[in-house]
């Protein structure tokens, strides 16, 4: 995978973060993206590094733009830059995770019964139920923010579609986001989820295949995956190939500096 393609993906992600944010503050080497409506959401309140910042200055920079929040999150889109920041941020008490950037290299097939494009309101109950499973100790306010933050994503790309599969009773069992920039020929598939109550029915395959069909006009389709979790292999079996990495550094409430 060429450096140009990885840069294309990083540019798309940085633009998405800026566009969905309620408040944008440009800083050396990146941007602070904020949304006070979803203060508990790290995704919506973080520092996104898409340039070449001074690694030694990153902890203080994050404190200056995220100091009103309980958490700190820094996403570094370039792999080498992320590696260069890791030791400084570890010393400042940040945990470190990597994200695999995977691009689609398969052949798009048409599902027999495709997922449907749905409105936000049609997804909300299913998302709330699943967030409660993932975060059983979370305050209800946090649960509601995690369910509602999808509304901000509608601003993130030229076209945003929410896809869902329902069971025989009409209950949403699986869903995903699709972000499209047809002019630049790029699409991102995000948040492919199957509710715990609906696993092993093939719903995620239907959602993913439908998303790929919708993105068929784009020459570049990508998603992000945890390198240490099973979905990575699931995506690989369906035609996605790992082409790079990005980095996420997080300091949660109560985490002490080392």
pLDDT 10s digits, 14-44:
999 999 999 999 999 999 999 999 999 999 9
Q: pLDDT tens, 168-190?
A: 999 999 999 999 999 999 999 99
Residue 256 has pLDDT above 60, yes or no: no
The answer to whether 239 and 106 have CB atoms below 8 angstroms apart is yes
pLDDT value, residue 254: 59
Based on the fold, state whether residues 121 and 83 are members of the same structural domain: no
pLDDT value, residue 253: 82
Based on the fold, state whether residues 149 and 204 are members of the same structural domain: yes
Average pLDDT over residues 229-247: 97
CATH number reported for the structural domain that contains residue 156 in this entry: 3.40.630.30
Say if 236 falls within a structural domain: no
List CB contacts of 194: < 8 A, sequence separation 6 or more: 173, 174, 201, 203, 204
Say if 85 falls within a structural domain: yes
Say if 149 falls within a structural domain: yes
Say if 122 falls within a structural domain: yes
Per the prediction, the chain carries an average pLDDT of 95
Whole-angstrom CA distances from 112 to 93, 109, 203, 206, 256 are: 49, 9, 12, 8, 52
Residue 185 sits in which domain range? 116-215
pLDDT value, residue 258: 33
Based on the fold, state whether residues 81 and 151 are members of the same structural domain: no
Any bridge partners for residue 162, and if so which?
118, 177
Say if 11 falls within a structural domain: yes
Based on the fold, state whether residues 122 and 211 are members of the same structural domain: yes
The structural domain count of the chain equals 2
* φ, ψ dihedrals at 55, nearest 5°: -55, -40
Residue 1 has pLDDT above 60, yes or no: no
Based on the fold, state whether residues 91 and 167 are members of the same structural domain: no
Say if 135 falls within a structural domain: yes
Say if 235 falls within a structural domain: no
Based on the fold, state whether residues 139 and 165 are members of the same structural domain: yes
Based on the fold, state whether residues 37 and 71 are members of the same structural domain: yes
């Amino acid at each position: 995978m060429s450096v140009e393609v990885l840069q294309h993906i990083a540019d798309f992600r940085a633009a998405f973060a800026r566009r969905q944010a309620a408040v944008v503050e440009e800083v050396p080497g990146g941007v602070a993206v904020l949304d006070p409506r979803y203060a508990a959401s790290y995704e919506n309140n973080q520092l996104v590094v898409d340039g070449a910042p001074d690694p030694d200055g990153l902890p203080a920079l994050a404190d200056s733009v995220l100091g009103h929040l309980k958490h700190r999150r820094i996403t570094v889109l370039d792999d080498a830059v992320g590696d260069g920041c890791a030791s400084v941020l570890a010393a400042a008490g940040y945990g470190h995770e990597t994200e695999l950037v995977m691009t689609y290299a398969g052949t798009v097939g048409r599902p027999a019964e495709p997922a449907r494009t749905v409105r936000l309101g049609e997804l909300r109950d299913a998302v709330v139920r699943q967030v409660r499973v993932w975060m059983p100790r979370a305050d209800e306010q946090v649960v509601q923010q995690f369910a509602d933050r999808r509304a901000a994503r509608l601003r993130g790309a030229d076209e945003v579609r929410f896809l869902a599969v329902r069971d025989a009773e009409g209950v949403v069992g699986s869903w995903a986001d699709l972000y499209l920039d047809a002019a630049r020929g790029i699409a991102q598939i995000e948040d492919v989820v199957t509710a715990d109550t609906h696993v092993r029915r093939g719903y995620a395959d239907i959602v993913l295949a439908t998303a790929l069909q919708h993105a068929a006009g784009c020459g570049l389709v990508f998603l992000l995956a945890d390198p240490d979790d099973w979905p990575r292999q699931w995506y690989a079996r369906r035609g996605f190939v790992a082409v790079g990495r990005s980095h996420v550094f997080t300091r949660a409430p109560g985490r002490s500096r080392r």
